[in-house]
Structure 1
Amino acid sequence: MTHSLGLTLRRARHDAQLTQAATAEGICAQSMLSAIENGRYIPNSEILIQLCQRLKISLTAISLADNFDISNQVAINQELDRLCNRHAYQTLNDYLLSAPVLAAITTDRQTQAYYYYLGITEYQLKHNLDAAQQDFDLALNSTAGPATTLTRLIHAANGLTAATAGKPTVATTAFTTALADIDQAPYEADLNILFYLAALADYQLGRPVAATVRLQDGLRFITAHDSHYMLANSYHLLAVISAKSDHQNQADEANQFATMLTTLFHEKIFDDFTKYQ
Protein backbone atom coordinates (compact mmCIF):
# COMPACT_ATOMS: atom_id res chain seq x y z
CA MET A 1 0.00 0.00 0.00
CA THR A 2 1.24 3.47 -0.85
CA HIS A 3 0.84 5.96 2.01
CA SER A 4 0.48 9.40 0.53
CA LEU A 5 0.79 12.72 2.27
CA GLY A 6 -2.96 13.16 1.92
CA LEU A 7 -3.81 9.87 3.59
CA THR A 8 -1.40 10.69 6.39
CA LEU A 9 -3.04 14.05 7.06
CA ARG A 10 -6.51 12.53 6.87
CA ARG A 11 -5.55 9.89 9.43
CA ALA A 12 -4.11 12.56 11.74
CA ARG A 13 -7.25 14.66 11.36
CA HIS A 14 -9.48 11.72 12.24
CA ASP A 15 -7.28 10.94 15.24
CA ALA A 16 -7.67 14.56 16.36
CA GLN A 17 -11.46 14.30 15.81
CA LEU A 18 -11.52 17.43 13.65
CA THR A 19 -13.63 18.17 10.61
CA GLN A 20 -12.06 19.37 7.39
CA ALA A 21 -13.58 22.80 7.98
CA ALA A 22 -12.13 23.10 11.48
CA THR A 23 -8.73 21.90 10.31
CA ALA A 24 -8.55 24.24 7.34
CA GLU A 25 -9.93 27.35 9.08
CA GLY A 26 -7.48 30.24 8.79
CA ILE A 27 -4.96 28.11 6.87
CA CYS A 28 -6.44 27.24 3.50
CA ALA A 29 -9.76 26.65 1.80
CA GLN A 30 -11.59 23.49 2.83
CA SER A 31 -11.60 22.51 -0.84
CA MET A 32 -7.79 22.68 -0.82
CA LEU A 33 -7.58 20.42 2.25
CA SER A 34 -9.99 18.01 0.58
CA ALA A 35 -7.80 18.00 -2.53
CA ILE A 36 -4.69 17.39 -0.39
CA GLU A 37 -6.31 14.49 1.47
CA ASN A 38 -7.46 12.93 -1.79
CA GLY A 39 -4.03 13.15 -3.41
CA ARG A 40 -4.97 15.80 -5.96
CA TYR A 41 -2.80 18.59 -4.56
CA ILE A 42 0.47 18.89 -2.63
CA PRO A 43 0.67 21.93 -0.34
CA ASN A 44 3.68 24.15 0.03
CA SER A 45 5.70 23.72 3.19
CA GLU A 46 4.14 26.69 5.02
CA ILE A 47 0.62 25.33 4.64
CA LEU A 48 1.74 21.84 5.64
CA ILE A 49 3.46 23.20 8.76
CA GLN A 50 0.30 25.04 9.79
CA LEU A 51 -1.83 21.95 9.20
CA CYS A 52 0.56 19.81 11.26
CA GLN A 53 0.47 22.34 14.08
CA ARG A 54 -3.34 22.42 13.97
CA LEU A 55 -3.35 18.62 14.17
CA LYS A 56 -0.80 18.70 17.02
CA ILE A 57 1.79 16.68 15.11
CA SER A 58 4.82 17.40 17.27
CA LEU A 59 8.44 17.57 16.20
CA THR A 60 9.83 16.60 19.61
CA ALA A 61 7.13 14.97 21.76
CA ILE A 62 7.09 11.52 20.19
CA SER A 63 5.41 8.37 21.50
CA LEU A 64 6.77 4.93 20.72
CA ALA A 65 4.54 2.59 18.76
CA ASP A 66 5.04 -0.01 21.50
CA ASN A 67 6.55 0.73 24.89
CA PHE A 68 8.92 -1.59 26.73
CA ASP A 69 8.24 -3.27 30.06
CA ILE A 70 10.21 -2.12 33.10
CA SER A 71 8.63 -4.64 35.46
CA ASN A 72 6.73 -7.91 35.67
CA GLN A 73 3.88 -5.96 37.24
CA VAL A 74 1.22 -5.10 34.68
CA ALA A 75 0.04 -2.02 36.58
CA ILE A 76 3.50 -0.46 36.55
CA ASN A 77 3.94 -1.01 32.83
CA GLN A 78 0.46 0.36 32.12
CA GLU A 79 1.21 3.52 34.10
CA LEU A 80 4.49 3.94 32.23
CA ASP A 81 2.62 3.60 28.94
CA ARG A 82 -0.01 6.12 30.02
CA LEU A 83 2.52 8.74 31.12
CA CYS A 84 4.63 8.26 27.99
CA ASN A 85 1.65 8.71 25.70
CA ARG A 86 0.61 11.85 27.58
CA HIS A 87 4.19 13.20 27.36
CA ALA A 88 3.96 13.87 31.10
CA TYR A 89 7.72 13.88 31.50
CA GLN A 90 7.97 15.39 34.98
CA THR A 91 5.39 12.98 36.36
CA LEU A 92 7.11 10.12 34.55
CA ASN A 93 10.49 11.15 35.98
CA ASP A 94 9.05 11.19 39.50
CA TYR A 95 7.36 7.85 38.88
CA LEU A 96 10.54 6.19 37.65
CA LEU A 97 12.43 7.38 40.72
CA SER A 98 9.76 6.15 43.14
CA ALA A 99 10.53 3.28 45.51
CA PRO A 100 7.78 0.91 44.23
CA VAL A 101 9.04 1.15 40.65
CA LEU A 102 12.68 0.72 41.61
CA ALA A 103 11.80 -2.35 43.68
CA ALA A 104 9.82 -3.90 40.80
CA ILE A 105 12.69 -4.04 38.28
CA THR A 106 13.93 -7.62 38.17
CA THR A 107 15.69 -8.39 34.84
CA ASP A 108 18.52 -6.94 32.79
CA ARG A 109 16.15 -6.07 29.95
CA GLN A 110 13.82 -4.26 32.34
CA THR A 111 16.82 -2.39 33.74
CA GLN A 112 17.82 -1.39 30.23
CA ALA A 113 14.32 -0.11 29.44
CA TYR A 114 14.19 1.69 32.79
CA TYR A 115 17.35 3.70 32.15
CA TYR A 116 16.19 4.43 28.60
CA TYR A 117 12.98 6.02 29.86
CA LEU A 118 14.79 7.82 32.66
CA GLY A 119 17.19 9.31 30.12
CA ILE A 120 14.27 10.39 27.92
CA THR A 121 12.71 12.30 30.81
CA GLU A 122 16.02 13.99 31.60
CA TYR A 123 16.37 15.02 27.96
CA GLN A 124 12.81 16.29 27.59
CA LEU A 125 12.89 18.20 30.86
CA LYS A 126 16.32 19.65 30.00
CA HIS A 127 17.42 18.87 33.55
CA ASN A 128 20.89 17.83 32.54
CA LEU A 129 21.96 16.55 29.12
CA ASP A 130 25.02 14.90 30.67
CA ALA A 131 22.73 13.04 33.07
CA ALA A 132 20.60 11.88 30.15
CA GLN A 133 23.65 10.53 28.33
CA GLN A 134 24.78 8.78 31.52
CA ASP A 135 21.38 7.10 31.74
CA PHE A 136 21.63 5.96 28.13
CA ASP A 137 25.13 4.60 28.78
CA LEU A 138 23.81 2.69 31.80
CA ALA A 139 21.03 1.31 29.62
CA LEU A 140 23.49 0.09 27.00
CA ASN A 141 25.68 -1.50 29.66
CA SER A 142 22.73 -3.36 31.22
CA THR A 143 22.68 -6.15 28.64
CA ALA A 144 24.96 -7.69 26.04
CA GLY A 145 24.32 -9.34 22.70
CA PRO A 146 23.22 -8.38 19.19
CA ALA A 147 21.38 -5.17 18.43
CA THR A 148 17.71 -5.02 19.36
CA THR A 149 15.07 -2.40 18.67
CA LEU A 150 15.56 -1.10 22.20
CA THR A 151 19.35 -0.82 21.93
CA ARG A 152 18.95 0.98 18.59
CA LEU A 153 16.53 3.42 20.22
CA ILE A 154 18.98 4.02 23.06
CA HIS A 155 21.81 4.80 20.63
CA ALA A 156 19.47 7.14 18.73
CA ALA A 157 18.39 8.90 21.92
CA ASN A 158 22.03 9.27 22.88
CA GLY A 159 22.75 10.71 19.44
CA LEU A 160 19.95 13.27 19.64
CA THR A 161 21.09 14.29 23.11
CA ALA A 162 24.63 14.74 21.80
CA ALA A 163 23.34 16.85 18.91
CA THR A 164 21.38 19.04 21.31
CA ALA A 165 24.55 19.44 23.36
CA GLY A 166 26.48 20.47 20.23
CA LYS A 167 28.55 17.30 19.94
CA PRO A 168 28.33 16.38 16.23
CA THR A 169 30.96 13.64 16.25
CA VAL A 170 29.31 11.80 19.14
CA ALA A 171 25.91 12.21 17.49
CA THR A 172 27.11 10.86 14.14
CA THR A 173 28.72 7.81 15.76
CA ALA A 174 25.59 7.07 17.78
CA PHE A 175 23.30 7.17 14.76
CA THR A 176 25.69 5.08 12.67
CA THR A 177 25.36 2.39 15.34
CA ALA A 178 21.59 2.83 15.67
CA LEU A 179 21.00 2.38 11.94
CA ALA A 180 23.64 -0.28 11.22
CA ASP A 181 22.22 -3.16 9.13
CA ILE A 182 18.68 -1.99 9.85
CA ASP A 183 17.38 -3.56 6.64
CA GLN A 184 18.38 -6.97 8.01
CA ALA A 185 16.76 -6.40 11.41
CA PRO A 186 13.41 -8.05 12.23
CA TYR A 187 10.91 -5.30 11.53
CA GLU A 188 9.17 -3.54 14.39
CA ALA A 189 7.28 -0.28 14.00
CA ASP A 190 9.51 1.45 16.56
CA LEU A 191 12.40 1.18 14.08
CA ASN A 192 10.65 3.88 12.03
CA ILE A 193 11.60 6.54 14.55
CA LEU A 194 15.35 6.02 14.09
CA PHE A 195 15.48 7.86 10.77
CA TYR A 196 13.38 10.69 12.16
CA LEU A 197 15.61 11.16 15.22
CA ALA A 198 18.70 11.12 13.00
CA ALA A 199 17.12 13.80 10.80
CA LEU A 200 16.14 15.89 13.82
CA ALA A 201 19.72 15.68 15.09
CA ASP A 202 21.10 16.76 11.71
CA TYR A 203 18.62 19.63 11.63
CA GLN A 204 19.67 20.77 15.11
CA LEU A 205 23.31 20.62 14.01
CA GLY A 206 22.62 22.87 11.02
CA ARG A 207 22.83 20.10 8.41
CA PRO A 208 19.55 20.45 6.47
CA VAL A 209 20.70 18.48 3.42
CA ALA A 210 21.72 15.50 5.56
CA ALA A 211 18.46 15.81 7.51
CA THR A 212 16.44 15.74 4.29
CA VAL A 213 18.25 12.61 3.09
CA ARG A 214 17.55 10.92 6.43
CA LEU A 215 13.86 11.75 6.16
CA GLN A 216 13.66 10.49 2.59
CA ASP A 217 15.32 7.23 3.65
CA GLY A 218 12.91 7.00 6.57
CA LEU A 219 9.84 7.59 4.45
CA ARG A 220 10.95 4.85 2.07
CA PHE A 221 11.62 2.49 5.00
CA ILE A 222 8.21 3.18 6.54
CA THR A 223 6.25 2.71 3.34
CA ALA A 224 8.25 -0.38 2.38
CA HIS A 225 6.95 -1.99 5.58
CA ASP A 226 3.37 -0.85 4.96
CA SER A 227 3.42 1.25 8.12
CA HIS A 228 2.22 4.75 8.95
CA TYR A 229 3.93 5.30 12.32
CA MET A 230 6.11 8.46 12.11
CA LEU A 231 4.89 9.40 8.62
CA ALA A 232 3.11 12.54 9.80
CA ASN A 233 6.05 13.65 11.95
CA SER A 234 8.44 13.05 9.07
CA TYR A 235 6.34 15.12 6.67
CA HIS A 236 6.17 17.89 9.28
CA LEU A 237 9.94 18.03 9.80
CA LEU A 238 10.53 17.84 6.05
CA ALA A 239 8.27 20.87 5.62
CA VAL A 240 10.06 22.79 8.39
CA ILE A 241 13.44 22.11 6.80
CA SER A 242 12.15 23.13 3.39
CA ALA A 243 10.57 26.33 4.72
CA LYS A 244 13.80 27.41 6.40
CA SER A 245 16.01 26.64 3.42
CA ASP A 246 17.49 29.61 1.61
CA HIS A 247 15.40 29.92 -1.54
CA GLN A 248 14.98 32.98 -3.72
CA ASN A 249 11.28 33.31 -3.08
CA GLN A 250 8.32 31.48 -1.63
CA ALA A 251 7.14 30.20 -5.00
CA ASP A 252 10.51 28.54 -5.65
CA GLU A 253 10.42 27.01 -2.18
CA ALA A 254 6.90 25.70 -2.68
CA ASN A 255 7.80 24.20 -6.04
CA GLN A 256 10.93 22.52 -4.67
CA PHE A 257 9.02 20.98 -1.76
CA ALA A 258 6.27 19.71 -4.06
CA THR A 259 8.84 18.35 -6.52
CA MET A 260 10.64 16.53 -3.69
CA LEU A 261 7.47 14.74 -2.62
CA THR A 262 6.47 14.02 -6.20
CA THR A 263 9.83 12.40 -6.91
CA LEU A 264 9.76 10.44 -3.66
CA PHE A 265 6.24 9.02 -3.90
CA HIS A 266 5.25 9.70 -7.51
CA GLU A 267 2.43 11.88 -6.16
CA LYS A 268 0.39 13.71 -8.75
CA ILE A 269 0.52 17.49 -8.39
CA PHE A 270 -2.65 19.34 -9.29
CA ASP A 271 -1.39 22.51 -10.94
CA ASP A 272 -4.51 24.70 -10.82
CA PHE A 273 -3.82 26.31 -7.44
CA THR A 274 -6.44 29.03 -8.02
CA LYS A 275 -9.17 26.40 -7.91
CA TYR A 276 -8.64 26.11 -4.15
CA GLN A 277 -8.49 29.81 -3.28
Structure 2
Amino acid sequence: MDIARFVERRKSLHISQVRMCEGICTQSTLSKFESGGHVPSLKILSKLCARIGLSIDDLNESNKISANQLKTNLDSLERNLVMENYQCVLKGLSKIDEQQLDSILLKMQFYYLRGLMGALINQPPEEVLYDFSQILNDLDETHETIFTQLVYVGSGVMYNRLKQTDRANFYFKKVHAFIRNVLKDEKLYFNGSSSTVVGEQNIGVLITW
Protein backbone atom coordinates (compact mmCIF):
# COMPACT_ATOMS: atom_id res chain seq x y z
CA MET A 1 0.00 0.00 0.00
CA ASP A 2 1.37 3.39 -1.02
CA ILE A 3 1.08 5.15 2.34
CA ALA A 4 3.56 7.80 1.18
CA ARG A 5 1.01 8.93 -1.41
CA PHE A 6 -1.59 9.34 1.31
CA VAL A 7 0.74 11.40 3.50
CA GLU A 8 1.91 13.51 0.55
CA ARG A 9 -1.70 14.32 -0.43
CA ARG A 10 -2.66 15.26 3.13
CA LYS A 11 0.32 17.56 3.52
CA SER A 12 -0.17 19.13 0.09
CA LEU A 13 -3.68 20.11 1.20
CA HIS A 14 -2.22 21.54 4.43
CA ILE A 15 -4.43 19.31 6.59
CA SER A 16 -3.00 18.49 10.00
CA GLN A 17 -3.33 15.05 11.54
CA VAL A 18 -5.70 16.48 14.16
CA ARG A 19 -8.00 17.93 11.53
CA MET A 20 -7.62 14.90 9.28
CA CYS A 21 -8.92 12.37 11.77
CA GLU A 22 -11.64 14.58 13.28
CA GLY A 23 -14.91 12.65 13.43
CA ILE A 24 -13.31 9.55 11.92
CA CYS A 25 -10.71 8.08 14.25
CA THR A 26 -8.15 8.96 16.91
CA GLN A 27 -4.96 10.78 16.03
CA SER A 28 -3.07 7.74 17.29
CA THR A 29 -4.79 5.55 14.70
CA LEU A 30 -3.86 7.97 11.91
CA SER A 31 -0.31 8.34 13.16
CA LYS A 32 0.23 4.58 13.28
CA PHE A 33 -1.09 4.25 9.74
CA GLU A 34 1.09 7.01 8.32
CA SER A 35 4.16 5.59 10.00
CA GLY A 36 3.45 2.19 8.45
CA GLY A 37 2.66 0.54 11.75
CA HIS A 38 -0.98 -0.45 11.34
CA VAL A 39 -3.63 -0.18 8.61
CA PRO A 40 -7.00 0.88 10.09
CA SER A 41 -10.30 -0.84 9.33
CA LEU A 42 -11.80 -0.62 5.85
CA LYS A 43 -14.48 1.82 7.05
CA ILE A 44 -11.98 4.19 8.67
CA LEU A 45 -9.50 4.05 5.80
CA SER A 46 -12.25 4.75 3.25
CA LYS A 47 -13.34 7.86 5.16
CA LEU A 48 -9.77 9.10 5.59
CA CYS A 49 -9.07 8.68 1.87
CA ALA A 50 -12.34 10.39 0.91
CA ARG A 51 -11.41 13.39 3.04
CA ILE A 52 -8.41 14.09 0.81
CA GLY A 53 -10.00 13.00 -2.47
CA LEU A 54 -8.46 9.56 -2.74
CA SER A 55 -9.83 6.03 -2.78
CA ILE A 56 -8.33 2.89 -1.29
CA ASP A 57 -7.64 1.71 -4.84
CA ASP A 58 -5.55 4.84 -5.41
CA LEU A 59 -3.22 3.72 -2.63
CA ASN A 60 -2.82 0.35 -4.33
CA GLU A 61 -2.21 1.88 -7.77
CA SER A 62 1.53 1.19 -7.73
CA ASN A 63 0.86 -2.53 -7.26
CA LYS A 64 -2.17 -2.68 -9.55
CA ILE A 65 -0.86 -5.41 -11.82
CA SER A 66 0.20 -7.74 -9.03
CA ALA A 67 -3.02 -6.99 -7.13
CA ASN A 68 -5.09 -7.92 -10.17
CA GLN A 69 -3.16 -11.17 -10.51
CA LEU A 70 -3.59 -11.99 -6.84
CA LYS A 71 -7.32 -11.32 -7.14
CA THR A 72 -7.51 -13.65 -10.13
CA ASN A 73 -5.63 -16.34 -8.22
CA LEU A 74 -7.82 -16.04 -5.14
CA ASP A 75 -11.01 -16.15 -7.22
CA SER A 76 -9.73 -19.30 -8.91
CA LEU A 77 -8.96 -20.90 -5.55
CA GLU A 78 -12.44 -19.98 -4.33
CA ARG A 79 -13.99 -21.78 -7.31
CA ASN A 80 -11.84 -24.83 -6.63
CA LEU A 81 -12.92 -24.78 -3.01
CA VAL A 82 -16.58 -24.89 -4.05
CA MET A 83 -15.73 -27.85 -6.31
CA GLU A 84 -14.02 -29.55 -3.32
CA ASN A 85 -10.67 -29.60 -5.12
CA TYR A 86 -8.93 -29.21 -1.78
CA GLN A 87 -5.42 -30.22 -2.82
CA CYS A 88 -5.41 -27.52 -5.50
CA VAL A 89 -6.60 -24.94 -2.97
CA LEU A 90 -3.99 -25.92 -0.39
CA LYS A 91 -1.23 -25.76 -2.97
CA GLY A 92 -2.41 -22.41 -4.27
CA LEU A 93 -2.72 -20.84 -0.84
CA SER A 94 0.76 -22.00 0.12
CA LYS A 95 2.19 -20.09 -2.84
CA ILE A 96 0.70 -16.76 -1.80
CA ASP A 97 2.94 -14.48 0.23
CA GLU A 98 0.81 -12.70 2.83
CA GLN A 99 3.18 -9.73 2.69
CA GLN A 100 2.14 -9.12 -0.94
CA LEU A 101 -1.49 -8.62 0.04
CA ASP A 102 -1.58 -4.82 0.26
CA SER A 103 -5.31 -4.58 -0.36
CA ILE A 104 -7.60 -5.02 2.66
CA LEU A 105 -10.14 -6.88 0.53
CA LEU A 106 -7.49 -9.28 -0.78
CA LYS A 107 -6.32 -9.94 2.75
CA MET A 108 -9.85 -10.73 3.88
CA GLN A 109 -10.43 -13.05 0.93
CA PHE A 110 -7.16 -14.84 1.63
CA TYR A 111 -7.77 -15.33 5.36
CA TYR A 112 -11.36 -16.41 4.75
CA LEU A 113 -10.27 -19.03 2.19
CA ARG A 114 -7.43 -20.35 4.31
CA GLY A 115 -9.60 -20.46 7.41
CA LEU A 116 -12.49 -22.23 5.69
CA MET A 117 -10.08 -24.64 4.05
CA GLY A 118 -8.65 -25.43 7.46
CA ALA A 119 -12.14 -26.02 8.88
CA LEU A 120 -13.03 -28.39 6.05
CA ILE A 121 -9.93 -30.55 6.45
CA ASN A 122 -10.05 -30.57 10.25
CA GLN A 123 -6.99 -28.49 10.97
CA PRO A 124 -6.49 -27.48 14.65
CA PRO A 125 -9.20 -25.00 15.69
CA GLU A 126 -6.61 -22.46 16.87
CA GLU A 127 -5.21 -22.24 13.31
CA VAL A 128 -8.65 -21.79 11.79
CA LEU A 129 -9.71 -19.21 14.36
CA TYR A 130 -6.44 -17.32 13.90
CA ASP A 131 -7.26 -16.74 10.23
CA PHE A 132 -10.85 -15.79 11.00
CA SER A 133 -9.76 -13.41 13.77
CA GLN A 134 -7.66 -11.48 11.26
CA ILE A 135 -10.94 -10.46 9.66
CA LEU A 136 -13.20 -10.11 12.70
CA ASN A 137 -10.73 -8.36 14.99
CA ASP A 138 -8.66 -6.34 12.56
CA LEU A 139 -9.55 -6.04 8.88
CA ASP A 140 -13.33 -5.85 9.36
CA GLU A 141 -13.58 -4.99 13.03
CA THR A 142 -16.87 -3.15 12.48
CA HIS A 143 -18.28 -6.29 10.79
CA GLU A 144 -19.61 -4.44 7.77
CA THR A 145 -18.42 -6.60 4.85
CA ILE A 146 -19.63 -9.93 3.50
CA PHE A 147 -16.42 -11.52 4.76
CA THR A 148 -17.63 -11.35 8.34
CA GLN A 149 -20.66 -13.43 7.35
CA LEU A 150 -18.42 -15.89 5.48
CA VAL A 151 -16.28 -16.19 8.60
CA TYR A 152 -19.41 -17.02 10.60
CA VAL A 153 -20.20 -19.77 8.07
CA GLY A 154 -16.66 -21.12 8.35
CA SER A 155 -16.81 -21.03 12.15
CA GLY A 156 -20.10 -22.92 12.08
CA VAL A 157 -18.59 -25.53 9.77
CA MET A 158 -15.59 -25.95 12.06
CA TYR A 159 -17.64 -26.43 15.21
CA ASN A 160 -20.07 -28.71 13.41
CA ARG A 161 -17.20 -30.98 12.34
CA LEU A 162 -16.00 -30.94 15.95
CA LYS A 163 -19.52 -32.07 16.95
CA GLN A 164 -20.01 -28.93 19.02
CA THR A 165 -23.55 -28.33 17.82
CA ASP A 166 -24.43 -25.44 20.12
CA ARG A 167 -21.44 -23.39 18.97
CA ALA A 168 -22.07 -24.28 15.33
CA ASN A 169 -25.69 -23.17 15.61
CA PHE A 170 -24.61 -19.92 17.25
CA TYR A 171 -22.74 -18.91 14.09
CA PHE A 172 -25.24 -20.34 11.62
CA LYS A 173 -28.01 -18.34 13.32
CA LYS A 174 -25.97 -15.16 12.85
CA VAL A 175 -25.77 -15.83 9.12
CA HIS A 176 -29.46 -16.71 8.94
CA ALA A 177 -30.36 -13.45 10.65
CA PHE A 178 -28.15 -11.53 8.23
CA ILE A 179 -29.79 -13.14 5.19
CA ARG A 180 -33.27 -12.44 6.54
CA ASN A 181 -32.30 -8.83 7.11
CA VAL A 182 -31.01 -8.48 3.55
CA LEU A 183 -34.03 -10.13 1.99
CA LYS A 184 -36.43 -8.24 4.29
CA ASP A 185 -39.46 -9.52 2.44
CA GLU A 186 -39.16 -13.15 1.43
CA LYS A 187 -42.44 -13.11 -0.49
CA LEU A 188 -41.18 -10.26 -2.65
CA TYR A 189 -37.97 -12.17 -3.33
CA PHE A 190 -39.56 -15.50 -4.22
CA ASN A 191 -42.27 -13.93 -6.41
CA GLY A 192 -39.53 -12.12 -8.31
CA SER A 193 -41.93 -10.29 -10.59
CA SER A 194 -42.63 -7.46 -8.14
CA SER A 195 -39.16 -5.98 -8.35
CA THR A 196 -36.45 -7.07 -10.75
CA VAL A 197 -33.85 -4.96 -8.99
CA VAL A 198 -34.55 -6.41 -5.55
CA GLY A 199 -34.64 -9.91 -7.01
CA GLU A 200 -31.28 -9.52 -8.69
CA GLN A 201 -29.68 -8.14 -5.55
CA ASN A 202 -30.95 -10.99 -3.42
CA ILE A 203 -29.94 -13.63 -5.94
CA GLY A 204 -26.45 -12.14 -5.84
CA VAL A 205 -26.34 -12.53 -2.08
CA LEU A 206 -27.52 -16.15 -2.21
CA ILE A 207 -25.02 -17.04 -4.94
CA THR A 208 -22.27 -15.79 -2.65
CA TRP A 209 -23.20 -18.50 -0.15
Structure with the bigger percentage of helix:
2
Alignment TM-score, normalising by the size of structure 2: 0.46
Query: Whose relative contact order is higher, 1 or 2, with alpha carbons under 8 Å and at least 6 apart?
Result: 1
With structure 1 as the length reference, what TM-score do the two structures score?
0.36
